A and B are shown apart, each in its own frame.
Chain A
Amino acid sequence: MTDLAIAANGLRKSYGDKLVLDGVDLAVPEGTIFSLLGPNGAGKTTAVKILSTLVGADAGEIRIGGHDLATAPQAVRAAIGVTGQFSAVDGLITGEENMLLMADLHHLSKREGRRVAAELLERFDLTEAAKKPASTYSGGMKRRLDIAMTLVGDPRIIFLDEPTTGLDPRSRHNMWQIIRELVSDGVTVFLTTQYLEEADELADRIAVLNDGRIAAEGTAEELKRLIPGGHVRLRFTDPAAYRSATGAFPGASGDDDSLSLRIPSDGSQRELRSLLDRLDSAGVEADELTVHTPDLDDVFFALTGSKVPAQPAQAMRPTVPNQPA
């Protein structure tokens, strides 16, 4: 067995009579990206808060970087870096002053502190804004400054709580690139997200958290096998066209009210072509064609058999009309 950067056993936490974490086990090998995937309110943030020593657990054993969290919290703190969901920057002072504050708290010498601060500001494209108060930064810039501050102490284990929530697509891709670079230096990353796509892009292993319990755990491929495949949705305005399309695809499920047809498909080029061919040979033209890849709702549907409350995850999914995702 390789060394575990994060090991948790039977993690429990409740706030009042609300049970937030109900016996969570986690094992994250060193140098990997682990993603805790789940909707709002699943307990992701609470898990990060406990693992990063911010709040205490009601029960459970936790070892971070080889240190027992209950008996040696300062040793754990020395090994980790945390970027929470809400920006942990001091808005009243400048980006550079924030960085130097971190350098001072990590007891770097003045010269070393200035060097590290300048280097990280440069790396995260913040040199130009370095002399401006952090409160004037955009969401993406604040998040970058936040991560830059986390990296000052050169932590071996980094917790990122929903690092891309609220970012525009471009900033999101920048953030993904940043996270990938972190692991290439041998750092362990523990990341929470609401987006399956994000976990898929980044994580070596994914655990799905639902209602305070791990509903499933595995690689992205393993999880996807648990999920019913994607589908193509055809929508019609002409009831006659809808009826002939229904005839052409016996395996599809139709919705007579919205005149739409749901055809199982993995969204690959080959399957789409054969689908279009069949539409052509049936002589019908759909008014709209959308390709759906499995999303978080599908995962939850498959894993828990219950429909989770609609999450922003849905709106973020690439359901671009007439374009394979």
Chain B
Amino acid sequence: MSSLSLAVRDSSTMLRRNLLHARRYPSLTLNLLLTPVMLLLLFVYIFGDTMSAGIGGGDRADYIAYLVPGLLLMTIGSTTIGTAVSVSNDMTEGIIARFRTMAIHRPSVLVGHVVGSVLQCVMSVVLVGAVAVAIGFRSTGATALEWLAAFGLLVLFATALTWIAVGMGLISPNAEAASNNAMPLIFLPLISSTFVPIASMPGWFQPIAEYQPFTPAIETLRGLLLGTEIGHNGWLAVAWCVGLTVLGYFWSTSKFNSDPK
């Protein structure tokens, strides 16, 4: 068997194992979904009037439109916290030691986690998106190509955050530590343009909010779904995704390949 087909075969075996875990124990994934859904409802129905006044005096529907792209990306951040936790849990299991002593494609253990997590992200985004549509979000102006590009961006972003989350899971000795280490993945969207425009933030803080990974991705998604200006954010978003993916990949695989304690 060639090394590529070995890699594909072992990775898909590991993916099946992870999907089996996710299907047997869905509570972690579902709990993590609650955060973005609650935030969506909170900001629309409780703070909605003040928030929409703040972004230029539109009505509630305008604010839903403003909010949803950021929340979809936040959903990805939230889901990948689950990835960090499950990777960390998995590493404490004896079965990982067994995998290490078998003649399999070694990175397949991690690739299985990554692909499984990206699939979960997509499912979560679809669920949160469905809630958004139910409360009035519309993106009827977008072309099929823009929809496809939006989907591609979400998958790319999910892949990038997942590889980082896998690395965070690998350096965490237990599930609690993994969950703490992965906090930035849910914290970063709070200081992005998810809820309010960057221009409304204090001047010294604007560069931080503007160039962190979430904001370019949010602005790009907004542009694709709602037709706002994308500008340099498109390239910035793709660069962040590729950069984080490469960084996360090398970080994770080098952690995984080093001798276990």
Chain A residues in the interface with B (C-beta under 8 A): 52-56, 74-75, 77-78, 80, 82, 84, 86-93, 97, 101, 104-107, 133, 149-150, 153
B98 with A56: CB separation less than 8 A: no
A105 with B25: CB separation less than 8 A: no
Q: Does B4 contact A (CB under 8 A)?
A: no
Task: Contacts A86-B94, A105-B102 given; indicate if A54 touches B24 (C-beta within 8 A).
Answer: no
- For residue B173, give the distance in angstroms from its CB to the closest CB of chain A: 16
Contacts of B17 in A (CB 8 A): 90, 93, 101
Contacts of B6 in A (CB 8 A): 107
B93 with A84: CB separation less than 8 A: no
B100 with A53: CB separation less than 8 A: yes
6 contacts between A and B (CB under 8 A): A54-B97, A54-B259, A77-B101, A89-B94, A90-B93, A107-B9
Contacts of B97 in A (CB 8 A): 54, 82, 84, 86, 88
- State in angstroms the CA–CA spacing of A149 and B102 once bound together: 11
- For residue A265, give the distance in angstroms from its CB to the closest CB of chain B: 44
Q: Which of B16, B103, B260 contacts A78 (CB 8 A)?
A: B103
Q: Which secondary structure characterizes the binding site on chain B?
A: helix
A97 with B101: CB separation less than 8 A: no
Count chain A CB atoms within 10 A of each CB in B100, B102, B104 and give the residue with the most.
Answer: B102
Q: Which of B10, B25, B101, B260 contacts A52 (CB 8 A)?
A: B101
B260 with A89: CB separation less than 8 A: no
Task: Contacts A82-B101, A88-B97 given; indicate if A107 touches B1 (C-beta within 8 A).
Answer: yes
- State in angstroms the CA–CA spacing of A107 and B97 once bound together: 19
A77 with B94: CB separation less than 8 A: no
- State in angstroms the CA–CA spacing of A55 and B9 once bound together: 25
B13 with A84: CB separation less than 8 A: no
- State in angstroms the CA–CA spacing of A89 and B103 once bound together: 17
- A interface footprint on B2-31 (CB within 8 Å = 1, 0 otherwise): 000010011001001100110011000000
A88 with B9: CB separation less than 8 A: no
- State in angstroms the CA–CA spacing of A80 and B100 once bound together: 12
B101 with A105: CB separation less than 8 A: no
Chain B residues in the interface with A (C-beta under 8 A): 1, 6, 9-10, 13, 16-17, 20-21, 24-25, 93-95, 97-104, 259-260
- State in angstroms the CA–CA spacing of A67 and B36 once bound together: 53
Contacts of B98 in A (CB 8 A): 82, 84, 88, 149-150
- For residue A12, give the distance in angstroms from its CB to the closest CB of chain B: 15
Task: Contacts A93-B20, A93-B24, A104-B13 given; indicate if A88 touches B102 (C-beta within 8 A).
Answer: no
Contacts of B259 in A (CB 8 A): 54-56
Contacts of A89 in B (CB 8 A): 94-95
- State in angstroms the CA–CA spacing of A36 and B95 once bound together: 23
- For residue B16, give the distance in angstroms from its CB to the closest CB of chain A: 8
B94 with A92: CB separation less than 8 A: no
B260 with A55: CB separation less than 8 A: yes
Contacts of B103 in A (CB 8 A): 74-75, 77-78
Contacts of B99 in A (CB 8 A): 105
- State in angstroms the CA–CA spacing of A135 and B60 once bound together: 50
Contacts of A88 in B (CB 8 A): 94-95, 97-98
A91 with B100: CB separation less than 8 A: no
A105 with B21: CB separation less than 8 A: no
- State in angstroms the CA–CA spacing of A153 and B13 once bound together: 16
Contacts of A84 in B (CB 8 A): 94, 97-98
Count chain B CB atoms within 10 A of each CB in A88, A97, A149 and give the residue with the most.
Answer: A88
- State in angstroms the CA–CA spacing of A270 and B100 once bound together: 53
Contacts of A56 in B (CB 8 A): 259
Contacts of B101 in A (CB 8 A): 52-54, 77, 80, 82
- State in angstroms the CA–CA spacing of A91 and B94 once bound together: 9
Count chain B CB atoms within 10 A of each CB in A84, A90, A97, A149 and give the residue with the most.
Answer: A90
Contacts of B20 in A (CB 8 A): 92-93, 97
- State in angstroms the CA–CA spacing of A91 and B259 once bound together: 23
B96 (CB) vs chain A CBs: closest residue: A88
Contacts of B95 in A (CB 8 A): 88-90
Q: Ordered nearest first, which 6 A-B pairs have the shortest CB separation?
A: A88-B94, A88-B98, A78-B103, A77-B103, A104-B13, A55-B259
- State in angstroms the CA–CA spacing of A108 and B102 once bound together: 14
- State in angstroms the CA–CA spacing of A97 and B259 once bound together: 28
- State in angstroms the CA–CA spacing of A107 and B101 once bound together: 16
- For residue A160, give the distance in angstroms from its CB to the closest CB of chain B: 13
Contacts of A104 in B (CB 8 A): 9, 13, 16
- State in angstroms the CA–CA spacing of A78 and B103 once bound together: 5
- State in angstroms the CA–CA spacing of A39 and B124 once bound together: 51
A54 with B13: CB separation less than 8 A: no
A133 (CB) vs chain B CBs: closest residue: B24
A54 with B9: CB separation less than 8 A: no
Contacts of B102 in A (CB 8 A): 77, 105-106, 153
A86 (CB) vs chain B CBs: closest residue: B94
Contacts of A53 in B (CB 8 A): 100-101
